[in-house]
Structure 1
Amino acid sequence: MAAVLDSVRALFAQDAFTIAVENPGDVVARETLLDRAMGPNRRRKSSEALRRNRVPAEGLALVARDSSGHVIGTVRLWNVEAGISPAGEPVPALLLGPLAVDSAHEGKGIGAALMRAAIAEAKTRDHGAILLVGDAPYYERFGFFADKAQHLVMPGPFERHRFLGLELKDGWLEGAAGLLVASGRKLARAPMRRAA
């Protein structure tokens, strides 16, 4: 991960932001940013059902920081099973989202930098495909297309034309069909104390 992030840092240093792996101290800033960027209904989306009570895929929770170290962008990827292969086996994949950039920093290439860093790190970690729900005109430039997800469905309502896939390994999603299911690690919960 360090090599990928070092090259991103060098590339975007002139724009006064860096890309880094999210740390536990980023939680409040990330959640505040997502609430502002995505609105009050963000937790009702079908994608959220796959993320709920899960931990992002290892090394694939990234933030953009301004020159003062404040979180100004975020992207996370989550382990899912992308339906079943023609051989009847679950197809491991990643679900990207949400991607958000602070409105005061839009137009600086932060979202694109987060996307490129996330895709590069997913490749480095040997993942086969990434899926997302988003605007095709934006995500097609990164290689995401609806035909890669055409036989897959999200849990709950979703807009078919916005359900996109990117194969990191050729043919990874070929023949995959069915419902996306969360497969990542569950969020650890603190043990509950019993009253004496």
Structure 2
Amino acid sequence: MDLALRFSPLVPEDEAAVEKLDERAFGPGRFARTAYRLREDVAPDYALSFVARVGTLLVGANRMTPILVGSTPALLLGPLTVEPAFRSQGVGEALMKLSLDAARASGQGLVLLVGDEEYYARVGFARAPLGKITMPGPVDPKRLLYFELREGALAATSGRMRRL
């Protein structure tokens, strides 16, 4: 049996397994979070979203969802989920790097997320300037992070995040 970690693009058939992974990791309260509400009823960009497997077991997933900030297209990263037994082994970082590289190659400019700055800074995310980008619900502004895929993308973007 092959126990090597494999990464592949997310496909619609993965959604049920990813949802179960998210449920185990974040619980039912995840649906009340502002970032989840932005993604509600919006399909992720499958070309920019990835999963990690060991054999047939899905052990990690990362979605990239198209959004608008004001009238500017951007991407919302997340949820980034890793099975607890596989955490602290670089799975999350690898999933993010795959998504960021794919988004850059596809011509995207800016990726946003709500998360722990210390963790996400390892791949280059930084705290968004206070008030430049807002979300349609309560979010600790210190947890709103951005990653520029194209230089100047943040400077050219401001306003409220909304569904595409």
Specify if TM > 0.5.
Answer: yes
**Equivalent residue number for residue 26 of structure 1:** 14
Q: Deviations over 1:97-131 (max 9, x none)?
A: 10010011112211111011011111111100100
Change (3 A) 1:181 1:149: farther
Whether 1:100 and 2:81 are equivalent positions in the alignment is yes
**Equivalent residue number for residue 129 of structure 1:** 110
CA distance in 2, matches of 1:124, 1:106: 28
- Give the CA deviation at 1:179: 0.6
Q: Deviations over 1:151-189 (max 9, x none)?
A: 000111001000000110001120522110111xxxxxx
* Identity fraction in percent: 36
- Structure 2 unaligned runs (5+)? none
**Equivalent residue number for residue 99 of structure 2:** 118
**Equivalent residue number for residue 128 of structure 2:** 147
Whether 1:178 and 2:159 are equivalent positions in the alignment is yes
Whether 1:63 and 2:51 are equivalent positions in the alignment is yes
CA distance in 2, matches of 1:134, 1:149: 15
1:91 to 40, 57, 72: 72
- Give the CA deviation at 1:47: 0.6
2:32 to 44, 48, 57: 44
Change (3 A) 1:29 1:62: same
Amino acid at match of 1:79: P
Q: Which has the higher strand share?
A: 2
- Structure 1 unaligned runs (5+)? 1-14, 84-89, 184-196
Task: Count residues in correspondence.
Answer: 163
**Is this contact kept in 1: 2:44–2:66, CA < 8 A?**
yes
Where has structure 1 moved over 3 Å in runs of 4 or more?
A: 147-150
TM-score by length of 2: 0.93
**Is this contact kept in 2: 1:20–1:64, CA < 8 A?**
yes
CA distance in 1, matches of 2:65, 2:11: 16
- Which protein shows a greater Rg? 1
- Give the CA deviation at 1:25: 2.6
CA distance in 2, matches of 1:75, 1:58: 10
TM-score by length of 1: 0.78
**Is this contact kept in 2: 1:148–1:173, CA < 8 A?**
no
**Is this contact kept in 1: 2:66–2:73, CA < 8 A?**
yes
- Give the CA deviation at 1:146: 1.1
- The SS at the match of 2:121 is helix
Q: Deviations over 1:8-33 (max 9, x none)?
A: xxxxxxx8211101223322211110
Amino acid at match of 1:18: R
**Is this contact kept in 2: 1:91–1:173, CA < 8 A?**
no
